[in-house]
């Protein structure tokens, strides 16, 4: 059984690898034996994640990359191939929301800046599609590989306020299923594409929606979420790692085109 989840010798690329969730996934992949390439825009944060992984005995490498810049993604792909000769796993971890693209008492839907909405939609959807195109070509040539996308509870049930984010994550879920079928039918059944749909985690992007900035107390939205989460808490980044290791390892080699909720029961609860 242990060998099913073993990632020894595999090369895993993590976009958004400097974020709260992405960095935790990068560390989890390393602990399972993978050689991890951390992609992110900020050098200091990349270096910190790499240092933490190597301190624990893992192998990691950081590369500058903006997932919305195809030329940067291609350069990262070439660098990884030059260093390792192959890529086995792509985690599309880049994403998130922004306050200017979020409705509220001081910003109505009618006044949401189009450029802000466009950024959120592009970051979450195109920021998943572009790396999947570029690294997916490697998988097509190898005739094997795994892509894991990050969807959201907002893809199942659109959340108030985050209109662009919810729509983009719904697109990520749809794209995950489309791409899984496309690879199987056109290249190899050994290329798998899945996604996880995290429930509610305190990240940099949503902390302002769930907790009060000055006191740290729950906002009404944060309280409503916990009231509708049977486990009664927000997720911890480490809660995602086990599901991710399953989806990128041989333990799930007959699983493709799925979106797995990791949500403390939120999706299952009707409110009564």
Annotated catalytic sites, by residue? 165
CA 94/CA 13 separation, integer angstroms: 12
Q: What are phi and psi of 146, to 5 degrees?
A: -135, 130
The CA-based angle 19-246-257, given to 5 degrees, is 90
- Report phi then psi at 36, rounded to 5: -110, 130
Whether the CB-CB separation of 153 and 261 falls below 8 Å is answered with: yes
CB 47 within 8 A of CB 124: no
3-state secondary structure of 260: strand
Contact 165, 152 (CB under 8 A): yes
Contact 162, 154 (CB under 8 A): yes
189 Cβ contact list (under 8 Å, min separation 6): none
Using DSSP, state whether 116 is helix, strand or coil: helix
Q: Which residue, 258, 230, 229, 263, is CA-closest to 246?
A: 258
């Amino acid at each position: 059984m242990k060998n099913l989840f073993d990632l020894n010798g595999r090369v895993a690329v993590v976009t958004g690898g400097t974020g709260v969730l992405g960095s935790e996934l990068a560390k989890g992949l390393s602990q399972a034996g993978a050689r991890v390439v951390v992609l992110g825009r900020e050098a200091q944060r990349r270096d910190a994640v790499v240092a933490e992984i190597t301190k624990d005995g893992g192998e990691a490498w950081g590369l500058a990359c903006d997932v919305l810049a195809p030329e940067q993604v291609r350069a990262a792909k070439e660098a990884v191939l030059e260093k390792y000769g192959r890529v086995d796993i792509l985690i599309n971890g880049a994403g998130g929301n922004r306050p200017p693209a979020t409705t509220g008492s001081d910003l109505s839907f009618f006044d949401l800046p189009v450029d802000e909405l466009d950024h959120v939609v592009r970051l979450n959807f195109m920021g998943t599609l572009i790396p999947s195109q570029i690294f997916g070509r490697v998988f097509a040539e190898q005739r094997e590989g795994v892509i894991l996308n990050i969807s959201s509870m907002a893809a199942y049930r659109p959340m108030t306020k985050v209109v662009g984010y919810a729509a983009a994550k719904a697109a990520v879920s749809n794209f995950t299923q489309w791409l899984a079928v496309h690879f199987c039918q056109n290249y190899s059944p050994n290329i798998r594409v899945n996604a996880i749909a995290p429930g509610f985690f305190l990240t940099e992007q949503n902390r302002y929606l769930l907790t009060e900035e000055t006191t740290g107390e729950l906002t009404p939205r944060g309280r409503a979420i916990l009231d509708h989460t049977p486990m009664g808490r927000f997720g911890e980044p480490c809660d995602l790692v086990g599901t991710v290791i399953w989806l990128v390892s041989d333990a799930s080699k007959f699983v493709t085109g799925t979106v797995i909720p990791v949500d403390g029961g939120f999706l299952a609860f009707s409110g009564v």
